[in-house]
Amino acid sequence: MTDLHKQHCEACKLGAPVVTDQQANELILSIPSWRRQYHEGVDKLIRQFHFMEFKDAFEFSYKIANLAEREQHHPAILTEWGKVTVYWWTHKINGLHVNDFVMAAKTDVIAKLMLEKQAAS
């Protein structure tokens, strides 16, 4: 599952099965900075990303929004001074689908590229 970030979201229909605990435990190994959390009664993936400037947090949020549009899979994003919290889950099934793990991995790639860009500046 190390290439999770290279996969694309599959169309998820109402009633599609949520990932099992075993599947989730295997998939989360590819995204170790993320954690599963019940938030507002739904099993979600959550991660906080930290930034020195608000403009960087906003830029990161914008990049995640663009990714979400391309993949047609949308998170909850909380942008604050110094941090961005991203929640991935599948609304249609009210829980976690493989798509959520794919999108979390893609989010990590965006974060890594931003950090590399900032370090080079």
Q: Is residue 12 part of a domain?
A: no
Name the domain count of the chain.
Answer: 1
Structural domain including 46 reads 34-120
Q: What is the CATH number of the domain that holds 88?
A: 3.30.1360.20
46-86 per-position pLDDT tens digit = 999 999 899 999 999 999 999 999 999 999 999 999 999 99
Q: Is residue 111 part of a domain?
A: yes
Q: Which helix (H) or strand (E) holds 91?
A: none
31-46 per-position pLDDT tens digit = 999 999 998 899 999 9
Tokens of 71: 């993949």
Q: Is residue 25 part of a domain?
A: no
61 φ, ψ (degrees, to nearest 5)? -60, -40
> Does the reported pTM lie above 0.85?
yes
Q: Is residue 116 part of a domain?
A: yes
19 φ, ψ (degrees, to nearest 5)? -65, 150
Q: Is residue 38 part of a domain?
A: yes
Q: Is residue 6 part of a domain?
A: no
Tokens of 109: 């790639």
